[in-house]
Amino acid sequence: MAHIGSSVQGQHSVSRVREALLARYRGLEHGFDAAFGSALNPLRHLGALGFLLFWLLAVSGIYLYAVLDTSASGAYASIDQMSREQWYLGGWLRSVHRYAADAFVLVTLAHLLREWLFGHCHGFRRFSWLTGVPLLVFVLISAVGGFWLNWDQLGQFSATATAELLDALPLFATPLTRNFLSNAAVSDRLFSLFVFVHIGVPLLLVFGLWFHIQRISRAAVFPPRALTLGTLAALVALALARPVLSQAPADLAVVPQLLAFDWLLLFMHPLMYATSAGTVWLLLAGSLGLLFVLPFLPRSVAPVPMAVVDPVNCNGCRRCFDDCPFAAVTMVPHPIRSTRQMAQVDADLCASCGICVGACPSSTPFRSARDLVTGIDMPSRPIGALRRQLQERLALHRGSNRIVVFGCDRGARVDAVAAPDVVALSLMCTGMLPPSFVEYALRDGAAAVLVSGCRAGGCEFRLGQRWAQARLAGAREPHLRAAVPREAVATAWADAGDEGALHGALNELRSRLRGAAAQALPARGTAHG
């Protein structure tokens, strides 16, 4: 019992640390928002940036491979000559290749950290997490292997250190280090192995990445254009300002002396010489083991029931299929209507976000049925209950300037703006809100409606804020009808902890309503006079 108690206490401690770090990370993200805007914030596109850098590595790598003489005696000269004599293309591409590799490692680690901070390793995201962790190994091997191809002193040091690290494991009958005892020992065959490592492992990485994004729809394999251009510009400028050049050619008769060292990619080598190969293996195995175990640690958060399809109300329109951010909805033959299809939810993939409910045309509150039952619904928070709550709360509030606030459980808390003139309703995700609810609230007595959710690009369920915004703007089905007065509708995209912004948007809406009322009074007086 004492063991279980201490284990639970340990989990709480980890959770507290994570929450504290998350608050700081959110602060950093919001700081970046001030410069980039929330939708183009690079910290919200780390995965897509990783893809961009990988594509950049692939394209620049193809050219470099074409130029590389893949022999032990010719490799150094071919790369060095290209860097010096063709600095404007080959040399520049080489620099971009190296800096993109550095950036790739940084962005990948930041992506991992962000996903952990947001708790994205459990439940329906476990697959993406578990398929992502091995990619770290592939990234590291690909990155380190690149230095060997350019057979300079840095490559010599890295290859020897890697061989010594691998020899610490009982893998090879003959130590790998024997390949690096003398210059004569480095053969063309060994260089073929180098080439295989630096090209074969990235190919494995492509397959791994494909698996990694299998369970999300519309995976961003390119960041937004502005972010792409900005990142490329930064790397290109760096490559021009500080071109990467080879160090002295490898000579296995001497120890490389002072090396211009890439700490971002080769950090393991100095760590090994400062400690031991066993320590490095222990750290690597421990880190990977911990990352693999994280998704299986018990959580205090109770699981939310998944979305459920009602065949009677599902007409097979495919909107939930289109909108589901995690590809949890598939279309199958309709059991009742022979010519139609019906949505089917995969329990393993469902995030229980309710975005599919917001997409369903049957979720409109204008339906005359006493109990609103929609085509796809969340059993824990059915859309019928939302309509009932809205009706009851609006009936309770008397006054001419009642404002309905639809919020998101994951964004700024709507209960923070509770006031006599406010009907605040929180959804599992803003994407769960059918736009017709906005019109329904206005017709049922609300003077205005404020829709709130996470900042653009920061939706806990990836696409909820994006779809909500597009639906309200009439750019995505189901859309907010054009007849709805837009001056009575406002949005406030505010993250958790951003309640001040929500308050500000609400006050702005109140001012607008007061201004409209003040304008209406003289007009009414003139009409009566």
For another protein, what does the binding mask look like between residues 252 and 291, x meaning CB under 8 A?
Answer: xxxxxxxxxxxxxx----x--x------------------
Distance separating alpha carbons of residues 10 and 491, to the nearest angstrom? 40
Please give the structure tokens belonging to residue 241: 């300002």
For another protein, what does the binding mask look like between residues 418 and 457, x meaning CB under 8 A?
Answer: ---------------------------------x---xx-
**Least gap, CB of 249 to another protein (angstroms):** 15
Contact pick of 288, 442, 479, 497 for another protein (by CB under 8 A): 479
Distance separating alpha carbons of residues 78 and 87, to the nearest angstrom? 13
Contact pick of 99, 138, 147, 194 for another protein (by CB under 8 A): 99
Peptide bond into 478 cis (omega under 30): yes
Does position 337 bind another protein by CB under 8 A? no
Does position 413 bind another protein by CB under 8 A? no
**Least gap, CB of 456 to another protein (angstroms):** 6
Q: Which stretch binds another protein (CB under 8 A): 17-25, 68-76, 278-286, 313-321?
A: 313-321
Give the amino acid at 473: A
Number of Cβ within 10 Å of residue 190's Cβ equals 15
Does position 106 bind another protein by CB under 8 A? yes
- Is-contact 185 179, C-beta < 8 A? yes
Contact pick of 144, 429, 441, 509 for another protein (by CB under 8 A): 509
Distance separating alpha carbons of residues 86 and 66, to the nearest angstrom? 14
Tokens 């948007």 correspond to 505
- Residue 120 or 471: the one with the smaller Cβ distance to another protein is 471
Distance separating alpha carbons of residues 50 and 106, to the nearest angstrom? 9
Would you tell me the crossing angle of helices 188-212 and 126-149 to the nearest 10 degrees?
Answer: 160
| Residues in the chain, total | 529
What residues form DSSP beta bridges with 448? 403
**Least gap, CB of 332 to another protein (angstroms):** 5
Q: Which stretch binds another protein (CB under 8 A): 58-66, 114-122, 231-239, 516-524?
A: 231-239
Does position 171 bind another protein by CB under 8 A? no
- Residue 195 or 259: the one with the smaller Cβ distance to another protein is 259
Does position 32 bind another protein by CB under 8 A? yes
Kindly state the helix (H) or strand (E) to which residue 161 belongs, with its residue range: helix 153-167
**Least gap, CB of 273 to another protein (angstroms):** 7
Distance separating alpha carbons of residues 395 and 263, to the nearest angstrom? 65
Hey, is 406 helix, strand or coil? strand
Does position 157 bind another protein by CB under 8 A? yes
Q: Which stretch binds another protein (CB under 8 A): 118-126, 375-383, 419-427, 497-505?
A: 497-505
Does position 339 bind another protein by CB under 8 A? no
Distance separating alpha carbons of residues 423 and 421, to the nearest angstrom? 7
Contact pick of 174, 338, 368, 526 for another protein (by CB under 8 A): 174
Tokens 């006079």 correspond to 529
Long-range contacts of 363-372 (CB under 8 A, 24+ apart): 363/434, 363/436, 363/478, 364/434, 364/436, 364/440, 364/478, 365/390, 365/434, 365/436, 365/437, 365/440, 366/436, 366/439, 366/440
Does position 72 bind another protein by CB under 8 A? no
- Alpha carbon dihedral 89, 92, 97, 103, in 10-degree steps, equals -140
Contact pick of 26, 46, 47, 48 for another protein (by CB under 8 A): 48
**Least gap, CB of 253 to another protein (angstroms):** 6
What's the DSSP call for residue 45? Answer: -
Q: Contacts with another protein in 459-478 (CB under 8 A)?
A: 463, 466, 470, 472-477
Does position 65 bind another protein by CB under 8 A? no
Contact pick of 56, 414, 492, 513 for another protein (by CB under 8 A): 492
For another protein, what does the binding mask look like between residues 355 and 394, x meaning CB under 8 A?
Answer: ----------------------------------------
Closest CA to 478 of 314, 308, 360: 360
**Least gap, CB of 301 to another protein (angstroms):** 26
